[in-house]
Structure 1
Amino acid sequence: MNNTDSMSISLTAALSAVGVPAANHDFIRQFTTAVGIADYHYVDQTGKPYVVATRVDGGLPLHIYYGATNGFHSEEEVIRMAGSAVDRRKSGSRKGTWCVEHPVNQSRPPGPRSKDVRREGAFCACGMQRSVTGECPSCD
């Protein structure tokens, strides 16, 4: 296949093609039915394939990934389509949209990324600091 499948396929086929866990299929089917989807295509993007769900009303399509879906217009739309109990946040990849996390996901929690942590070696009995491999520049 090329980067984008040119035919419209079923939701189950599209989700399976991009590796979305079967445990998420019913959850996704519920909100895509509520949104109203005309067709599904998958994008075989290296490292992060996804399904494009084209809305019946012509609005912004949903992008369905392994652990989350983005493309909702607002938090209110997420609640209306997927319920108030779902984990939701502003999308980090599609500015101006909202996303919902799937029950089974590998999403990074929202917030700042962890800082670069430098490793340092312990101190040798001679008082010199060892390298991170454990060698003392004075004794070894």
Structure 2
Amino acid sequence: MTEPANPSDSLLAALAKARIPVENHELIRRLTTAIGITEFRAVDSSGKPHVMAKRRDGLPDLHIYYGYTSGFTSADEGLQAAGHGAVCRPSSRRGTWYVEHPTNQVRAGGERSDNVRREAGFCSCGMQLSLTGSCSSCD
């Protein structure tokens, strides 16, 4: 269940409540200053704590997670706020983009570690075996 904390949390207090690594604080401070945030609040949702940052201009709130901040309206906005060398990609929040933090566990979409598909061999009769190794024709 989602439980918002005190809506007047300072940035540092909200980041601490959401367990955001200190190594990411400098970038997050740069992002939130560039965008213009009026309010921070920590959200302790099951398994994915984060900070909601309410924008001054009324555009989508920024969602600050362990390894990324989402809610940018374009890649340009995210890159301008983050500065040189930032990684910005489309977010799962439709119409928004995210910026990766220096310390993260982000895996780019479509990236797979290894192909885990298994294929069975063929029986002497020419039929493909099941993954258990049995032939539906001969066994």
Q: Give the gaps of 5 or more residues in structure 1.
A: 121-130, 132-140
- The answer for the alignment partner of 1:28 in structure 2 is 28
Question: Which amino acid in 1 is paired with 2:68?
Answer: A
Tell me how far apart the structure 1 counterparts of residues 91 and 84 of structure 2 sit (CA, whole Å). Answer: 17
The answer to whether 1:80 aligns with 2:98 is no
Q: Which consecutive segments of 4 or more residues in structure 1 shift more than 6 A? A: none
Tell me how far apart the structure 2 counterparts of residues 113 and 46 of structure 1 sit (CA, whole Å). Answer: 26
Asked if the contact 2:54/2:61 (under 8 Å) is kept, the reply is yes
Mapping of residues 51-90 of structure 1, within 5 Å:
51-90=51-90
Post-superposition shift, 1:114?
5.8
Post-superposition shift, 1:37?
0.4
Post-superposition shift, 1:117?
2.1
Question: Which amino acid in 2 is paired with 1:58?
Answer: G
For these two proteins, the number of residue pairs brought into alignment is 126
Q: Secondary structure at the match of 2:30?
A: helix
Q: Secondary structure at the match of 2:85?
A: coil
Question: % of aligned pairs identical?
Answer: 50
- The answer for the alignment partner of 1:97 in structure 2 is 96
CA deviations on 1:8-65 (whole Å, 9 max, x unpaired) are: 1011111111111001001100110011100101111111111000011111110000
Tell me how far apart the structure 2 counterparts of residues 112 and 105 of structure 1 sit (CA, whole Å). Answer: 16
Tell me how far apart the structure 1 counterparts of residues 7 and 78 of structure 2 sit (CA, whole Å). Answer: 28
Q: Secondary structure at the match of 1:59?
A: coil
Q: CA RMSD in A?
A: 2.9
Mapping of residues 98-137 of structure 1, within 5 Å:
98-113=97-112, 117=116
The answer to whether 1:49 aligns with 2:49 is yes
Tell me how far apart the structure 2 counterparts of residues 114 and 22 of structure 1 sit (CA, whole Å). Answer: 28
TM-score normalised by L of structure 2? 0.78
